[in-house]
Each structure stands twice: as structure tokens, then as C-alpha cells.
């Protein structure tokens, strides 16, 4: 089995592959102050609960957009999973040409997403990751990673509205029944959600115009399912896209 770990700013997506099949996946809250022992104990408990033996894990692959947690999860893998992880970083094989100004600035989760996206859905491709930030990553018809766009995540936008105003409450992010909100909460839900839909659709139109060909558009991340239902241009939602990308990158670099 292969253990895959995608460390994000808000959550950590963990998956276990048996061959090409994702047999288990879990989402954990990111805690910058947690030790390797804390994370290791948590993961060990999850594996035990699902009847997975440590001896069945043949390898691990890790990507992280939180640099201080790279050594933490490297230690988790070596001490608790008894394997040295492959860390996705500049110079690693991805099967894509990275046509960006500085590949070292590119988040490894974005690389994992487009590796999996092109494998599953072909190219040209746009992957929208609805996470702490919302990222738009673009692959050309020739298979080149061209770059993309980064916007504040919808949760950040909602939280900022709550924190920077005196009378507006923290709200649940869900689609309101009407665009015209008859109360503060429904008015905020309308403004945030429909405003964000406008942001997503406008960025997609601009990117598609520059591509000069119709891309396949896939959503991933925590809010992928919600936006896939309400943005017609999004063809499919795949919340575990990065985990598949990590498996593919692992195979490219170890086999």
C-alpha cells in the first residue's frame, strides 16, 4: 500500500492506495504546533481502526504548502510508517513542462492536481482548487503547465466580512433560496456565494479566451462539490484529485 499526504493550510488530506485504488482517505485539521508524535498517534489510530497493518505500507509520498510541517510529516513517515517519504519539491519528475516564471514558487499541491487532472481528463485542462485559497491551474493542449490564478478562498472572504464589521455575524456557507436576502444572514449568503460564482466564472472566461481552445474544467478541494453543482462550466468534482496526483508522481520517481 502507498500512503499519500497532502498538507494544506487548513486541512490535511491523507489517502491510502492499494495499487491504483484509493481504499481509504481522511481529512485532518492542520495544526502547525502539533508534534510528529501527535500526528503519528492519530494516523496510527486511523490505520488500526480500519484494520491496516503498518507492514503493508510499502511507501509514502508527501506534499505540503506549510513548510514547517514537511520535517514533521517526514518524521511521522519514518517513525510511525517505517518508510522514508518522497517529498514533492522542485526537480521532481511530473511529466509536465512547468512554463512558469519560477517553478520553485509553485505549490506542490497545484502540481499534484494537474498531474492527476491530465491523467484522468486529458488536456487542455483547468483545475480549480476550492481550498483556503482558490487556485486556477491551467494545462495547455500540448501538456504544458502554463500557470493560473490565485484568489482568496470563499471561507476567507466570509470570515473577513465577519471580523471586519461590527454587526455582521459569522454564517454558514450555503446557497440561499433567493438572491434577494430578506435578513442579514441570507443577504450575506447571497452576496458571498453569488459574488464568488461571478469571480469563478469571470476568471474561467478570461483563461479560456487566452487558451484559444475549450478546456476540461474540474473542481477539487473542500467546496468542490458545492460549486460543481452551481457553476455550469465545471464538468466534474473530484475532492481527492491531489491524492491521485501524489500516487502518479510517486510512480514516476520510483519505478
Show which residues are catalytic.
Answer: 109
Give the other-Cβ count within 10 Å of 82's Cβ. 11
Largest Cα–Cα separation, the chain = 59
Whole-angstrom distance between the N-terminal and C-terminal Cα of the chain? 15
Whose CA is closest to 216, among 153, 107, 137?
137
Do residues 97 and 146 lie in contact, with contact meaning Cβ atoms separated by under 8 Å? no
Close Cβ partners of 236 (under 8 Å, ≥ 6 residues apart):
121, 218, 219, 228
DSSP letter at 91?
T
Signed CA dihedral, 71, 76, 77, 78: sign only: positive
SS3 string, 120-180, reads HHCCCEEEEEECCEEEEEEECCCCEEEEEEEEECHHHHHHHHHHCCCCCCCCCCCCCCCCC
At a CB cut-off of 8 Å and minimum separation 6, what does 175 contact?
189, 193, 226, 230
Amino acid at each position: 500500500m502507498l500512503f499519500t499526504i497532502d498538507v494544506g493550510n487548513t486541512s490535511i488530506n491523507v489517502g491510502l492506495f492499494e495499487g491504483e485504488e484509493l481504499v481509504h482517505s481522511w481529512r485532518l485539521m492542520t495544526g502547525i504546533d502539533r508534534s510528529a508524535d501527535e500526528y503519528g498517534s492519530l494516523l496510527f489510530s486511523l490505520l488500526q481502526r480500519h484494520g491496516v497493518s503498518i507492514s503493508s505500507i510499502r511507501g509514502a509520498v508527501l506534499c505540503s504548502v506549510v513548510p514547517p510541517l514537511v520535517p514533521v510529516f517526514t518524521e511521522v513517515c519514518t517513525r510511525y510508517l517505517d518508510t522514508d517519504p518522497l517529498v514533492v519539491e522542485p526537480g521532481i519528475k511530473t511529466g509536465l513542462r512547468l512554463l512558469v516564471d519560477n517553478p520553485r514558487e509553485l505549490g506542490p499541491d497545484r502540481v499534484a492536481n494537474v498531474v492527476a487532472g491530465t491523467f484522468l481528463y486529458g488536456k487542455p485542462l483547468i483545475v480549480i482548487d476550492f481550498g483556503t485559497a482558490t487556485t486556477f491551474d491551467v494545462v495547455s493542449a500540448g501538456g504544458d503547465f502554463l500557470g493560473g490564478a490565485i484568489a482568496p478562498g470563499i471561507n476567507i472572504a466570509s470570515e473577513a466580512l465577519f471580523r471586519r464589521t461590527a454587526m455582521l455575524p459569522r454564517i454558514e456557507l450555503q446557497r440561499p433560496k433567493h438572491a434577494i436576502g430578506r435578513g442579514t444572514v441570507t443577504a450575506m449568503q447571497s452576496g458571498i456565494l453569488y459574488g464568488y460564482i461571478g469571480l469563478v466564472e469571470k476568471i474561467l472566461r478570461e483563461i479560456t479566451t487566452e487558451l484559444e481552445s475549450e478546456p476540461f474544467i474540474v473542481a477539487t478541494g473542500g467546496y468542490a462539490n458545492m460549486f460543481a453543482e452551481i457553476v455550469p462550466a465545471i464538468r466534474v468534482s473530484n475532492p481527492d484529485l491531489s491524492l491521485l496526483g501524489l500516487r502518479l508522481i510517486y510512480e514516476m520517481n520510483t519505478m
